[in-house]
Amino acid sequence: MSKDAEYDSKINDRKGYLSELAIANNKLAVANSALAIANKKLTIANKKLTIANKKLTIANKELAIVNEELAIANKELAFQNEEKDKRAAELAIANQELTFQNKEKAKRAVELAIANKELAFQSKEKAKRAAELAIVNQDLTFQSKEKAKLAEELNDLAFYDTLTGLPNRRLLIDRLHHALASNVRQGCESAVMFIDLDHFKDINDTLGHEVGDLLLIQTAQRLESCLRKGDTVARLGGDEFMLILENLDENPIEAATKAKAIADKILAELNKPYQLDMHKCHSTVSIGAVFFDHQGNTAEDLIKQADIAMYQAKQAGGNLIRFFNPKMQESINARITLENELRIAIEKSQFHLYYQIQMDSDNRVLGAEALIRWTNPEHGLVLPATFIPIAEETGLILSIGKWVIETACAQIKVWQKKSQTRDLTLAVNVSAKQFRQKDFVDQVQSAVQRHAIPGNLLKLELTESLLQYDTEVTIAMMKALNKIGVQFSLDDFGTGYSSLQYLKRLPLDQFKIDQSFVRDIATDNNDKAIVKAIIAMAQILDIDVIAEGVETEEQQQLLLGKGCTLYQGYLFSKPIPIDQFDALIGRFTDS
């Protein structure tokens, strides 16, 4: 081989080698890439392995905790097993005891069976005795009922009227003795009424005794319906009945009034027609009444006196009542006359308002109190003390009170037209009965609105007695009227029994010191102390104070020194009619 060929051969060999080397290098590069990828995967696997190891570590810790808890549970289970073994041993002992007790019960059961047989035999014997006893008791009960019936019949015959079933004279006398004794102890007025049917003989003669008996029976029933609980009605005999009315009232006049009211009720009831079998009849009665006089009169004395009064009623024409005491009769007649005249006065508008001026310490006119007066055509001027109590009792105060409020509002409206009277307040008295009307608030609101006056110029004077009942209702009504400006004054303050707990809640604008404390304030230290306390209380509650019954300058100065700056009384003016009051206002304002 030549050198060129050898050289070419070497060159070719070298190129082959280089080619192979290049291929090997490429493979090596591929292998390195794969190795790099493998390393990355290995790194990731190592990280996962690390995380898995951490989780395994945590799991091992949790397993350790579980193992500890399991160990504790095993100890507890071992303890419980020991306790069970103890209980099993105790139960075995108890079973032995129970077995012994069961044997003893079996013995007792045998003994009880023997005792039951003996008891059954005894029960049969008792049942025989009970049956025999029941027969004896039935016979005894029958005898007792017969005796009771006989005793009741005898009692009825002895103490009750067989026709009407009312107490008879004997029982009446007994009850009257008790009533007299009770009357002495209690000091309360009681009365006896003797009732006799007018012209009863005519009914017996014309319609027969059977119809007359029916009239007596129905009369007795009507009399019973007219009486109060505890009163007695009895039949003396024939057409005569008698009533015992106990504990009428401590006041003799009031007791007489109540007795008269009961008698009037009886007269009205017995004047109604009677249906006697087939006959429709009318009948009247004459009533004589007498009061227990606490002078030692016996039951018989009272019956005689009531009988005399009854005959006085018959002689006067019947169908009426006469009292044995002439003075009492005169008082009742006068009261009835006054009540009738009072009704006429309302119908014919015989009332008038008088006005008593109210002043302050600077001699300024603040307003007035409206006081009702009655001009009677026969008796002239009648003061409220005479007719207001009767108006209260009969309910006429409601009509009178409504008229007063209407008239007062009308007067305030008149005052509004003049500059010197435009700001005057007018106080009116309101009775408890009037205030308690369901529509009282509506009445006042309507009057204020109808006359188109400022509500704050109307002042309602309430008494302390009104606050003793339904205080919550009173407060609600006062607040309702406060909304339209109406003011409230507590009249005669200090004479009642006001609760300080409620006083602080009442929407009051004024306390009116009663004149009984003002009258002797110059000489009576107690009156001074009371007035001072009232004024201090009012100042604490932020309520105005006015004193009524101020008659001297000394009284006014003493009141002023204690902090009272509002006054009403004869020092300034007595209550006067409206024309004189307007003139008085002119003099005060001019000065």
Query: In this predicted model, what pLDDT tens digit does every residue of 345-403 receive, in sequence order?
Result: 999 999 999 999 999 999 999 999 999 999 999 889 988 988 998 898 889 999 999 99
Domain end, chosen from 100, 135, 159, is at 159
pLDDT of residue 154: 54
In-domain check, residue 281: yes
Same domain, 431 and 569: yes
Question: Are 108 and 251 in the same domain?
Answer: no
The answer as to whether 334 is a domain residue is no
288/348 same-domain check:
no
Domain range for 151: 1-159
What is residue 327's predicted lDDT score, i.e. its pLDDT?
67
Closest CA to 531 of 543, 549, 544, 514: 514
Same domain, 307 and 355: no
pLDDT in tens, 320-344: 999 886 665 576 678 888 899 999 9
Write the DSSP string, 103-166.
HHHHHHHHHHHHHHHHHHHHHHHHHHHHHHHHHHHHHHHHHHHHHHHHHHHHHHHHHB-TTT-S
- Calculate mean pLDDT across residues 567-590: 92
Task: Tell me: do 315 and 432 sit in the same domain.
Answer: no
Decide if 239 contacts 224 (C-beta within 8 A).
no
Q: Which of the four pLDDT bands, split at 50, 70 and 90, describes residue 316?
A: confident
3-state secondary structure of 486: coil
Cα 270 to chain centroid distance, Å, stands at 38
Q: In terms of domains, do 368 and 511 share one?
A: yes
Q: What is the mean pLDDT of residues 468-493?
A: 88
Residue 333 falls within a domain, yes or no? no
Portion of the chain with pLDDT greater than 70, in percent: 93
Q: Are residues 283 and 386 in the same domain?
A: no
What does the buried/exposed string (b/e) look like for 248-258 if buried means 16 or more CB atoms within 10 Å of the residue's CB? beeebeebbbb
Question: Does 112 score more than 90 pLDDT?
Answer: no
Spell out the SS3 assignment of 167-194: ECHHHHHHHHHHHHHHHHHHCCEEEEEE
Q: For 14-23, what is each residue's pLDDT tens digit?
A: 888 888 888 8
Write down the pLDDT at residue 94.
82
Q: In the chain, how many domains are there?
A: 3
Residue 137's pLDDT band (cuts 50, 70, 90): confident
User: Do 148 and 176 fall within a single domain?
Assistant: no
Average pLDDT score over the chain: 88
Classify residue 66: in a domain, yes or no: yes
Give the pLDDT confidence score for residue 477 in this predicted structure.
94
CATH of the domain at 298: 3.30.70.270
Residue where one domain finishes, among candidates 100, 125, 159: 159
Q: Do 283 and 252 belong to one domain?
A: yes
Q: Is the pLDDT of residue 156 over 60?
A: no
What pLDDT, on a 0 to 100 scale, did the predictor assign at position 497?
Answer: 53
Based on the fold, state whether residues 187 and 281 are members of the same structural domain. Answer: yes
**Domain termination site, one of 300, 324, 348:** 324
Using the 8-state DSSP alphabet, how is residue 223 labeled?
A: H
Q: Give the CATH number, domain containing residue 431.
A: 3.20.20.450
174-203 pLDDT, tens digit per residue, is 999 988 888 777 778 899 999 999 988 878
Rounded distance between C-alpha atoms, residue 21 and residue 29, angstroms: 12
pLDDT at 146: 65
Q: Are 481 and 582 found together in one domain?
A: yes
Q: What is the pLDDT of residues 517-533, one digit of tens each?
A: 999 999 999 999 999 99
Q: What share of the chain in percent tops pLDDT 90? A: 47
Quote the pLDDT of residue 548. Answer: 95
**Separation CA 163–CA 304 (nearest Å):** 24
